[in-house]
Structure 1
Amino acid sequence: MADVTVIGAGVAGLWAALALSRCGLRPRLIDRTGPPGPHGCSWWAGGMLAPRCEGAVADPAIVRHGQAAAGHWAEVTRVVQRGSLVVALPRDRAELARFARRTSGHTAVPDVSALEPDLTGPHRALFMADEAHLDPREALGDLVRALAARGVTVTRDTVTPDAVLGPVIDARGMAAGLAGLRGVRGEMLVLRARDIRLSRPVRLLHPRHPLYVVPRADGVFMLGATQIESADWRGISARAVLELLGAAYALDPRFAEAEVLETGADLRPAFADNVPRVVVRGRVLHLNGLFRHGYLMAPALALQAVAYLTNGIKGDLVHAD
């Protein structure tokens, strides 16, 4: 017997199940495709826990809640806390100045090679020392294992909240069909460049083709930053590949010799203000609208959902009809 049914085993649903279990409730976790994998939006994330960087364009709630994300994740998976480096070519110094005005907690870096010796170009930079990153696929696996240790596994089944008795947490993303959601497609590349070493995520500012590069193990890097207002589920576009590779080449020409390991695209659910929320509809709590902030905001969203479900506490991310 379960106390709460969680539908959707992406990053939001997994965190919701873990938060429920930690507070003494018995969750039942259901996903139509089973445990996390390439079928889910969470699989294609960059894994940056960078609330201050996101503050350049995001709502203050993202910055506020996101600052606790690294601590929550460190309880279940490996988190690398070496900060974020934001760079711009000399011709784009205005972009860096604009970014600096819109964010906080950064220091100017007169010599980028002091932090990243492999970046020897004429870059201007800012350093956010208190930010972090993780490997999303490793983190999803560790969440599944943490739940299994508590007796919670992912059941493969197709259900809707109407077919379930008792309280429900709906974390199905776009599949939930929630009013007010729109799809935002993100596209990514995974490269192996054995002769390039980076110890932290690097964001290259550009007026048209911004880029972030997230280091993973064994000379592997994830490249992303495309954000397309589209509900089209098709794969990565040729335009995105060209733009991502061109920006990577501008950051470091050695990326031109990198091995392309993987390409991917996902459709991220977002509300009009791009702020994730818990939408309460009777006995159903919808955890949705994570936009590009899935790993940054999933712990906070899950904790607020469980606090509302158990004690009626309405946090700032809870929207009750």
Structure 2
Amino acid sequence: MADVTVIGAGVAGLWAAYALCEAGLTPRLIDRSGPPGPHGCSWWAGGMLAPWCEGAVAEPVITRHGAQAAAHWAGVTEVTQRGTLVVAMPRDKGELARFARRTTGHRAVADLAALEPDLAGAGQGLFFDAEAHLDPRAALAGLVAALAARGVGIMQADATPETIPGPVIDARGLAAGLPGLRGVRGEMLLLRAPEIRLSRPVRLLHPRHPLYIVPRAEGVFMLGATQIESEDRRGVSARSMLELLSAAYALDPRFAEAEVLETGADLRPAFADNVPRVQVRGRVLQLNGLFRHGYLMAPALALQAVDYLTRGIKGDLVHED
């Protein structure tokens, strides 16, 4: 018999189920589409664990909790801790200065080639050496495997909290239909460019088309991501693809010859302040609003939900109705 039912097997729901297991409870995990895949926004994430970079635009709570994310993830998947490099073209050096003023945890880098030889001509940069990254799809698989080892599978069914008795953690994202929750469209590309060597995520600052590039294995790079206030679920637009590829070309012209492996688009669930939360509604805990911080904040959100359920501790991400 399950102690708690978790609805939604994206990054938030998987982490909630895993945290319940770690607390000695038995979860039941339900998702209308089954195991993680292209049907959910968790599949299309960049996988950057970059709390100090995110501090340029996010609330301090994101940096505070995000600083622990790499340690949490290391228990279920491989985490690469080589920092984040933030760069700007010489014409955009003002963007770099503004980013530096809004963030902490970095040092200025005048010679990018010392960190990334292939970026020798990319101007100046900031190095956030405590940041990390992971492969999101491998991370989801790691959570699924960790749950399976504890006897927890993913039941494919269309469920809502109203149809399930007992304690429920609802991690369905936009499908939960919460008041004040909106969709923020994000698009990405996966490219193969084996001649380009990058060992860490690189963020290119641009006044109109900022870009991040995250290295994967075997010469594959993830390019992302647009951030559009829209609930349009269609595929990647021609405009967005042009902007992403143009920014990548500006960083390294060899990206023009890269093989396009995948394109993806989905909606990130977000509240007005772009801060995720656990909303307590009687026996139902709503884990939602992860915005662009899914992999960064899912562990903290899950742990606070489980602390509330098991010990009555109300963390700073928990909101009681």
Q: CA deviation at 1:225?
A: 2.4
Contact 2:87/2:122 (8 A) holds in 1: no
Cα distance in 2 for residues equivalent to 1:175 and 1:290: 13
Instruction: Name 1:189's counterpart in structure 2.
Output: 189
**Residues 104-148 of structure 1: CA deviation (Å, up to 9, x unaligned):** 010000100000011121411000000000000000001000000
1:223 is matched with which residue?
223
Tell me what 1:259 maps to: 259
Matched with 1:172 is: 172
User: What one-letter code is carried by the residue in structure 2 that aligns with 1:165?
Assistant: P
Matched ranges for 1:8-47 at <5 A:
8-47=8-47
| One-letter amino acid of the structure 1 residue matched with residue 150 of structure 2 | R
SS of equivalent residue, structure 1 residue 228: coil
**Displaced runs of 4 or more, over 2 A:** none
- Aligned 8 A contact 2:122 2:251 in 1: no
Matches of residues 130-145 of structure 1 in structure 2 within 5 Å? 130-145=130-145
CA apart distance, 1:238: 0.6
Partner of 1:199: 199
Distance across 2 between alignment mates of 1:155 and 1:196:
41
| Partner residue in 1 for 2:289 | 289
- 1:287 counterpart letter in structure 2: L
Gaps of at least 5 residues in structure 1 are none
Is the Cα contact below 8 Å between 2:187 and 2:224 reproduced in 1?
Answer: yes
Shift of 1:52: 0.3
- Separation in structure 2 between the aligned mates of residue 159 and residue 105 of structure 1, nearest angstrom: 43
Q: What is the identity, as a one-letter code, of the residue corresponding to 1:214? A: V
Residue type of the partner of 1:308? Answer: Y
1:112 equivalent in alignment to 2:126: no
2:148 pairs with 1:148: yes
Is the partner of 2:214 in helix, strand or coil? Answer: strand
User: Can you give the 5+ residue segments of structure 2 that lack an aligned partner in the other structure?
Assistant: none
How far residue 185 of structure 1 moved from its aligned partner, in angstroms, is 0.4
CA contact (8 A) 2:6 2:170 kept: yes
Partner-residue secondary structure (3-state), 2:286: strand
What SS is found at the alignment partner of 1:249? helix
- Secondary structure (helix, strand or coil) at the match of 2:5 reads strand
Give the corresponding residue for 2:126: 126
Inter-partner Cα distance in structure 1 for 2:179 and 2:235:
25
SS of the equivalent of 2:239 reads helix
* TM-score using structure 1 length: 0.99
- Mapped to 2, the partners of 1:13 and 1:122 lie a distance apart of 40
Aligned residues: 321
CA distance in 2, matches of 1:26, 1:225: 37
Between the aligned partners of 2:269 and 2:292, the Cα distance in structure 1 is 9
Query: What do residues 5-33 of structure 1 show as CA deviations (whole Å, max 9, x unaligned)?
Result: 00000000000000001111110000000
Give CA deviations for 1:82-117 in whole Å, capped at 9, x if unaligned: 000000001000000000000001000010000001
Contact 2:3 2:27 in 1 (8 A): yes
Q: Aligned AA for 2:57?
A: V
Aligned position for 1:312: 312
Alpha-carbon distance between aligned partners in 2 of 1:254 and 1:270, rounded to the nearest angstrom: 35
In the other structure, the counterpart of 1:235 is 235
Distance 2:249 2:18 in 1: 41
Aligned-CA RMSD value = 0.5
